Structure formats: structure tokens, C-alpha cells
Amino acid sequence: MMDSVALSCKVCTSWQGLLLTVSLLTCWLIPTTSQLTIKSVPPIAVEGENILLFVHNLPKNVKVFSWFTGARVLKSCEIATHVIAVNATVIGFSHSGRETLFKNGSLLIKSVTSKDSGYYTLRIIDATSRPEIIRTEFFVHSPLLGYKKHLTPSRLTIALVPPRVEENINIILWVFHMPKNLQAFAWHKGVLPLDHLKIASHSFLTNSTMLGHAYYDRLTVRNDGSLLLLNVTKNDTGLYTLRTISVDLKLEWAIIDVQVNKH
């Protein structure tokens, strides 16, 4: 499955916890080099949540990539393989129906359980047929007492309009089911809530919008939370994340993958 996919989850948090999480992400998740890396977002999940194994710096000459459960490259452990030249994905024996591959190599696993904990292996093959293997690990724990009520799946979703994107057209990342009683929302380019990746944030308390470092003049943030991109280019390709926080400090987020094609 390689279509644009929105990922939603809901957690209950405090401002202190949110700031601590952002601080930790800043220190831990920013790669210091252009080396291929994988980060689990979040690194520790509660059963029922979604996990994104985010691939950073996938080489441009990659022809094929495959994901496997466990720490070994075995056919019986294969989740899926994607062939970039024909934009085709082949499902493996370990695909449970909850996994989605993104074109940047990332892997989304929905509604995780404790059985999903452990190692995951990514194998990439470049134009010289030279394989490279990299592993990551994440943990899933059972809900804490009183936490289950916060695991209601979020309805926040993002739709790409039009669904097929070509260069030099205008597109909308259309937001549906925006939570009620919102305090603020923010858009980021990528999946990490870091200042240098922020496009813009809007506060309903002050009815004001602040532009971020990733903002440029072809972008417009609409009052309903949707994001308008004018005259898109290949540089606009990638993941976009919308985060919302309500007046009772509940955080929701959704991710969409935008792929810009040549005419």
C-alpha cells in the first residue's frame, strides 16, 4: 500500500510533558550526519496506538527496499518489498494487514500490540545491487490503569486534493474531523515537532498565526486547519504532520505523504 496515508493518534498530556518530549526529541532524533537512520515515533507506545518507523536520508539511488520483522533478513519474516522503478509493493509472509510502506522507506504499523515489540530490519538495494541493512527497535506496553479512556481512535484525518499531484499545480492538504474546543494547531514538514521543521502554528486563544522556519510564500494555512500549497515542485515531496491541542490539553496528530510527480 503506497497511497497517501493519514496517521492519527490521540494522547492525553500536560504542557510540561509535551515540552519534555519535544526537548528529548530535539536531543535524540536529529541525525548529525547524512547517514541512513531509522527512528521509531514514538519510541515507546501503548497498545492500540500507531507506530511510524521513520527512515531518514534514504539514498537517491535505491532501487528496492524491504522490511522484515526481527533482526535477520529471512523470507519468512518479510513484511513487504517495494520496487521503486515500477512503484509496486509485494506483500510478504509477515504482513498482518496493519502495515503501510511510504515511498521514503518509512513503515507505519497501526494498532500495535505487545507482540509487535522488538527489532525490525530494513534492507535497501541500490543501482549497483549492493545491499545495505539497518535495524531499529521499539517497545509496546499495556495501557496503564485509567489510561484506556484516552485510547479512543482519533478521527482527525488529512486528505490530499487532488489525490495525484503533479508539478506546478495547487494542492490542499484538507483536514477533516478537527477536534472541538481547540487551543492551537501546528503544521510541520516531516514527523518531528521541531522548530526548524515548523511551517506555521495557529492559536485560537489569540486568533493569531505564527510562521515557522519551514514556511515559504507558496503556503497558506486556512482557518479550518487545512494547508494550501501553490505551484508545487519536487521539493514539496515528503511527509507533512498536523498537530492539535485542545483546551483540556489533549494532543492529536495526523500524517500525510505527499508525492509530487513530473508531468
Instruction: State pLDDT tens for residues 174-200.
Output: 999 998 888 889 999 987 777 788 899
Co-location of 170 and 132 in the same domain: no
Residue 195 is predicted with a pLDDT of 77
The Cβ of residue 99 has, within 10 Å, a number of other Cβ atoms equal to 20
Q: Which of 109, 141, 173 is the last residue of a domain?
A: 141
Co-location of 173 and 252 in the same domain: yes
Residue 87: pLDDT band by 50, 70, 90 thresholds? confident
Q: How far is C-alpha 141 from the chain's CA centre?
A: 21
Co-location of 168 and 217 in the same domain: yes
| Position 21 in a domain | no
- Rounded to two decimals, the pTM is 0.56
Residue 137: pLDDT band by 50, 70, 90 thresholds? confident
Whether the upstream peptide bond of residue 193 has omega within 30° of 0, thus cis, is: no
Q: Which of 110, 141, 172 is the last residue of a domain?
A: 141
Report whether pLDDT(4) > 50: no
Residue 34 is predicted with a pLDDT of 62
Residue 11 is predicted with a pLDDT of 42
| Position 31 in a domain | no
| Position 183 in a domain | yes
| Position 82 in a domain | yes
Structural domain for 185, as ranges: 157-258
Number of domains making up the chain = 2
The CATH number of whichever domain residue 253 belongs to comes to 2.60.40.10
Q: Which of 141, 176, 196 is the last residue of a domain?
A: 141
Residue 136: pLDDT band by 50, 70, 90 thresholds? confident
Report whether pLDDT(218) > 60: yes
Mean pLDDT, the chain, rounded, equals 80
| Position 181 in a domain | yes
Report whether pLDDT(76) > 90: yes
Co-location of 185 and 248 in the same domain: yes
Q: How far is residue 120's CA from residue 58's CA, in Å, rounded to a whole number?
A: 16
Co-location of 161 and 85 in the same domain: no
Co-location of 123 and 178 in the same domain: no
% of residues, the chain, pLDDT over 90: 33
Residue 17 is predicted with a pLDDT of 40
| Position 237 in a domain | yes
Residue 143 is predicted with a pLDDT of 65
Residue 214 is predicted with a pLDDT of 87
Co-location of 135 and 162 in the same domain: no
Higher pLDDT, 258 or 20: 258
Co-location of 103 and 166 in the same domain: no
Co-location of 163 and 108 in the same domain: no
Q: How far is residue 99's CA from residue 110's CA, in Å, rounded to a whole number?
A: 7
Co-location of 179 and 127 in the same domain: no
| Position 22 in a domain | no
Report whether pLDDT(92) > 90: yes
Q: How far is residue 52's CA from residue 45's CA, in Å, rounded to a whole number?
A: 10
Mean pLDDT of 85-102: 91
- Least reliable range by pLDDT among 60-64, 151-155, 256-260: 151-155
Co-location of 182 and 124 in the same domain: no
- Least reliable range by pLDDT among 102-106, 146-150, 189-193, 243-247: 146-150
- Contact status, residue 78 vs residue 129, Cβ threshold 8 Å: no
| Position 8 in a domain | no
